[in-house]
C-alpha cells in the first residue's frame, strides 16, 4: 500500500541562497539531457568518496588534501543539482528522490568525516562526534517535514554550501599549519574547531526541538479544544 505523500515546504535562508539559486537555474538551462538526476547523485557520492579518501591518504603526505579540496565543488555540483534538475524538467520522483537523496547525504557525511578521522588532522572520536551532530540535525529536519510540513535547508544562516566552504577553508589551513598546530592536552586546533562546530549543531538541535515541541503541544491542545 502506498502511503499518501505531502511534499514539505522547502525553506532556504542561508547567506548564499539567492546567488546559489540563480546559478543553479543557469546551470539547469544548459545541462544536456544526458545529465540525469541519478547521474548527479552518483557523481556527488563519488566526490564524497574522493574527499574522504583525500583526507585518509593525507596520512601518507599532506598533498593528498588537494584531492579533498577538489572534491567539494564536484560534490556541490552533484548534490545541489540532482533535485534541482528534476524539478526544472518536471521529472520529480518525490518518494524515491527524497529517500535516496537524503540517504546519500547521511552516507556522504560518514565518508567525509570518517576520512578526516583517519587523517592525522582530526581524532576519530571528534570526527564521529561531528557525524552524530550532523545526523541529529538531519533527523530534526526530517521530523519537521513530517509533523510541520516544513523542510529547512539551513540553520542560523548557513546551509550545505556554506558548510562546504568552511570545510574547504579548514582543509587548506590543515595543509598550511600541519596536524600539530595549537596542540593542547592532546587536542590540536582542528580537534577544537570541529568539536566546537559539532557542539554548536547539537545546541541548535536541542533549542529547535524544544521550540518546535512547544509549538506542536500548543497546536495539539488547540485541536483537542476545538473537538469538544
CATH number at residue 24: 1.20.120.1760
pTM tops 0.85:
yes
In a domain, 110, yes or no: yes
- pLDDT for the residue numbered 1: 43
Could you tell me the pLDDT band of residue 225, with boundaries at 50, 70 and 90?
A: confident
Nearest to 89 by CA among 44, 151, 33, 43: 33
In a domain, 43, yes or no: yes
Could you tell me the pLDDT band of residue 155, with boundaries at 50, 70 and 90?
A: confident
Q: How far is CA 154 from CA 66, 92, 146, in A?
A: 27, 22, 17
- Work out the angle at residue 206's Cα, subtended by the Cα atoms of residues 213 and 140, and round it to the nearest 5 degrees: 70
- pLDDT for the residue numbered 152: 82
Residue 81 clears pLDDT 90, i.e. is over it = yes
Domain tally, the chain = 1
In a domain, 93, yes or no: yes
In a domain, 58, yes or no: yes
Mean of pLDDT values over 80-100: 92
What does 107-173 look like in DSSP terms, one character per residue? HHHHHHHHHHHHSTTS-HHHHHHHHHHHHHHHHHHHHHHHHTSEEE--BTTB-HHHHHHHHHHHHHH
Q: Which domain holds residue 147?
A: 9-227
pLDDT in tens, 179-193: 999 888 889 999 999
In a domain, 87, yes or no: yes
> What is the DSSP pairing of strand 150-152 with strand 9-11?
parallel
In a domain, 3, yes or no: no
In a domain, 144, yes or no: yes
How far apart are the C-alpha atoms of 148 and 194, rounded to whole Å? 31
In a domain, 2, yes or no: no
* Contact between 134 and 48 (Cβ < 8 Å): no
Amino acid at each position: 500500500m502506498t502511503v499518501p505523500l505531502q511534499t514539505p515546504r522547502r525553506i532556504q535562508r542561508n547567506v548564499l541562497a539567492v546567488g546559489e539559486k540563480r546559478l543553479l537555474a543557469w546551470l539547469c538551462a544548459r545541462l544536456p539531457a544526458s545529465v540525469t538526476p541519478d547521474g548527479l547523485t552518483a557523481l556527488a557520492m563519488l566526490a564524497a568518496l574522493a574527499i574522504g579518501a583525500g583526507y585518509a591518504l593525507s596520512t601518507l603526505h599532506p598533498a593528498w588534501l588537494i584531492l579533498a579540496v577538489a572534491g567539494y565543488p564536484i560534490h556541490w555540483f552533484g548534490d545541489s543539482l540532482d533535485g534541482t534538475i528534476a524539478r526544472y524538467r518536471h521529472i520529480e520522483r518525490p518518494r524515491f528522490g527524497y529517500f535516496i537523496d537524503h540517504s546519500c547525504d547521511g552516507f556522504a557525511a560518514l565518508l567525509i568525516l570518517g576520512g578526516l578521522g583517519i587523517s592525522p588532522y582530526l581524532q576519530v572520536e571528534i570526527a564521529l562526534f561531528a557525524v552524530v551532530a550532523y545526523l541529529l540535525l538531519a533527523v530534526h529536519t526530517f521530523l519537521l517535514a513530517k509533523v510541520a510540513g516544513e523542510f529547512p535547508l539551513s540553520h542560523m544562516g548557513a546551509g550545505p554550501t556554506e558548510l562546504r566552504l568552511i570545510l574547504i577553508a579548514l582543509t587548506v589551513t590543515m595543509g598550511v599549519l600541519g596536524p600539530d598546530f595549537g596542540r593542547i592536552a592532546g587536542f590540536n586546533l582542528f580537534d577544537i574547531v570541529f568539536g566546537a562546530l559539532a557542539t554548536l549543531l547539537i545546541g541548535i538541535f536541542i533549542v529547535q526541538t524544544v521550540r518546535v515541541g512547544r509549538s506542536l503541544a500548543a497546536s495539539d491542545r488547540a485541536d483537542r479544544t476545538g473537538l469538544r
